[in-house]
C-alpha cells in the first residue's frame, strides 16, 4: 500500500483532524504535505458533507444538511518544482472505500436547501443508502437493483492564483446581481459567493484566516482549475493534466463517489462515500502554453462497468409545463429525457423519487445527441437494463 499522506478519522469532524484540510479555494491556504514528481502516495477523504449524513432510513439529515460546510477537501499537496504555467500530471492509480465504512448515500436535496436538476418536480428531501460489496452495490431503498460501480473523485484540482480567484468572484457576483433567467424562478441560487461561515482553511488563524475566509471561493462549481467536475469516467487508471497557477500546484481532492450517472442530476446524485485515492504525480514544464491548456484534460482509464444493453430516453428543448419552445437548449432537453425515463420506470412499480435517485447514482450515459437542428436540441439518457432484477422492457 502506498504511504498515506493525508489520513482521516471518520468519527471526528474535519476541524478536529490531526491534519486539517479545507473547504474553500484560495492560493494562501497552506499546503499540508510536500511530494516530489514521480512519487506515489495515498490520500484519504471524508464524504463531501463532513459526515452529516447517516446510514439510516430517515431523510431528515439530507433535508437539514449545512451546505456552508461543503466540500471538505484533503490537501493542499505541494508538488516540489511546480511553477505557474506548468502542467501537473496526476495518475489515479486506485479509488476505494475505507475499512468498516463500505456504504454510501444518494440524496434529493430540498428546494429550500440546494435543490437539484428536477427540483420543480421533486422539491422534498429523499435519501437512498447503498451497501457496497466489492465492485457491486445495492440499496434497501430502491429494490431489485444491483450494479457495478465506477469509483472516482467528484472533486480534484489545483489552487487558483490570486488573479484567477478574483476573476471567479467577479463573474459569479455579476451573475447573481443579474437576477438570472426569468424563465427559471424556482432556482434556489444562481451561485454560491464567498461565505466565511464554517470556512475551513487548513492551519490559518487570526487575521489571515479572516482575510482569506472573506475572499475564498466556494467549492461548488467546476472552474478552469478542475474542481467539482463530477465526471464519472475520471476513475482508476485515468491520467489528468491540470494547469498550474501557483508555486507548488497545491493539489486538493475529495467528494469521493462509488458510482454516478452522467449529470449527477439530484445534486447529491452520486453514491457519496468516504474513501481513499492512490495517486502518482509528474510535471510537464511550461506545458500550459505548449499545449494551449485552458481547462484540465484527461485520459480515461480502462476500468469501468461494461453494460451492453440500454434503454435510451430522448428529450427535446420544449418546456414540460407550458409547452414553450426553447432554442437549442440542452439543459431543457436533458431534463425532458430524464423525466421521460422516470415516467417510464414508474410503470414498473418504482416511485418517481426512486428513479430520480437511480439516474443520478447508477452508471447511466448522458449525451447531447443533436445541437444544430433548430429549434430543438436533442439529449438522451441511456439506462443499462442489466442493473434491474425485474423485467423493465416493453412487451
- Band of residue 190 on the pLDDT scale cut at 50, 70, 90: confident
Q: What whole-number distance in Å separates Cα of residue 63 and Cα of residue 354?
A: 16
Helices assigned H by DSSP within the chain: 60-64, 162-178, 206-215, 287-290, 330-346, 352-361
Q: What whole-number distance in Å separates Cα of residue 272 and Cα of residue 174?
A: 32
Return the percentage of the chain with pLDDT > 90, whole number: 94
Order of strands, sheet of 4-6, starting from the edge strand that comes earlier in the sequence: 4-6, 40-45, 275-284, 87-97, 239-243, 297-299
Q: How many CB atoms lie within 10 A of CB 284?
A: 16
Model confidence, pTM: 0.97
Q: What whole-number distance in Å separates Cα of residue 199 and Cα of residue 214?
A: 9
DSSP calls for 71-91? PPEEEEEEETT--TT-EEEEE
Q: Residue length, the chain?
A: 395
Q: Which of 144, 142, 145 is nearest to 108 (CA)?
A: 142
Q: Per-residue pLDDT tens for 159-187?
A: 999 999 999 999 999 999 988 765 454 56
Three-class HEC string of 163-227: HHHHHHHHHHHHHHHHCCCCCCCCCCCCCCCCCCCCCCECCCCHHHHHHHHHHCECCCCEECCEE
Residue 189's pLDDT is 79
Bridge partners (DSSP) of residue 293 are none
Please state, rounded to an integer, the average pLDDT across all residues of the chain.
Answer: 96
For the residues 105-129, what does the mean pLDDT come to?
94
Amino acid at each position: 500500500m502506498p504511504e498515506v499522506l493525508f489520513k482521516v478519522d471518520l468519527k471526528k469532524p474535519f476541524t478536529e483532524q490531526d491534519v486539517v484540510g479545507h473547504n474553500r479555494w484560495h492560493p494562501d491556504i497552506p499546503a499540508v504535505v510536500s511530494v516530489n514528481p514521480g512519487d506515489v502516495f495515498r490520500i484519504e477523504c471524508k464524504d463531501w458533507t463532513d459526515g452529516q449524513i447517516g446510514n439510516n432510513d430517515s431523510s431528515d439529515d439530507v433535508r437539514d444538511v449545512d451546505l456552508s460546510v461543503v466540500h471538505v477537501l484533503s490537501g493542499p499537496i505541494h508538488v516540489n518544482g511546480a511553477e505557474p504555467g506548468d502542467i501537473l500530471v496526476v495518475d489515479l492509480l486506485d479509488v476505494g472505500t475505507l475499512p468498516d465504512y463500505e456504504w454510501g448515500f444518494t440524496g434529493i436535496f430540498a428546494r429550500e436547501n440546494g435543490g437539484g436538476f428536477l427540483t420543480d418536480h421533486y422539491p422534498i428531501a429523499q435519501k437512498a443508502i447503498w451497501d457496497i460489496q466489492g465492485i457491486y452495490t445495492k440499496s434497501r431503498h430502491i429494490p431489485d437493483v444491483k450494479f457495478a460501480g465506477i469509483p472516482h473523485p467528484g472533486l480534484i484540482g489545483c489552487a487558483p492564483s490570486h488573479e484567477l480567484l478574483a476573476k471567479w468572484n467577479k463573474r459569479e457576483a455579476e451573475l447573481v446581481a443579474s437576477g438570472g433567467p426569468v424563465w427559471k424562478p424556482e432556482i434556489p441560487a444562481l451561485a454560491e459567493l464567498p461565505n466565511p461561515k464554517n470556512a475551513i482553511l487548513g492551519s490559518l488563524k487570526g487575521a489571515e484566516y479572516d482575510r482569506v475566509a472573506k475572499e475564498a471561493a466556494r467549492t461548488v462549481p467546476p472552474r478552469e482549475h478542475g474542481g467539482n467536475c463530477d465526471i464519472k469516467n475520471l476513475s482508476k487508471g485515468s491520467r489528468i493534466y491540470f494547469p498550474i497557477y501557483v508555486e507548488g500546484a497545491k493539489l486538493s481532492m475529495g467528494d469521493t463517489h462509488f458510482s454516478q450517472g452522467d449529470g449527477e442530476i439530484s445534486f447529491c446524485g452520486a453514491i457519496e462515500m468516504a474513501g481513499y485515492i492512490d495517486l502518482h504525480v509528474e510535471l510537464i514544464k511550461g506545458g500550459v502554453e505548449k499545449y494551449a491548456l485552458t481547462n484540465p484534460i484527461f485520459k480515461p482509464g480502462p476500468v469501468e462497468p461494461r453494460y451492453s444493453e440500454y434503454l435510451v430516453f430522448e428529450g427535446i428543448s420544449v418546456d414540460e409545463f407550458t409547452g414553450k419552445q426553447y432554442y437549442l437548449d440542452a439543459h431543457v432537453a436533458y431534463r425532458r429525457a430524464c423525466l421521460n425515463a422516470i415516467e417510464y420506470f414508474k410503470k414498473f412499480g418504482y416511485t418517481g423519487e426512486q428513479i430520480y435517485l437511480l439516474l443520478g447514482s447508477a452508471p447511466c450515459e448522458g449525451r447531447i445527441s443533436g445541437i444544430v437542428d433548430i429549434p430543438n436540441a436533442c439529449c438522451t439518457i441511456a439506462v443499462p437494463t442489466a442493473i434491474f432484477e425485474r423485467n423493465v422492457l416493453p412487451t
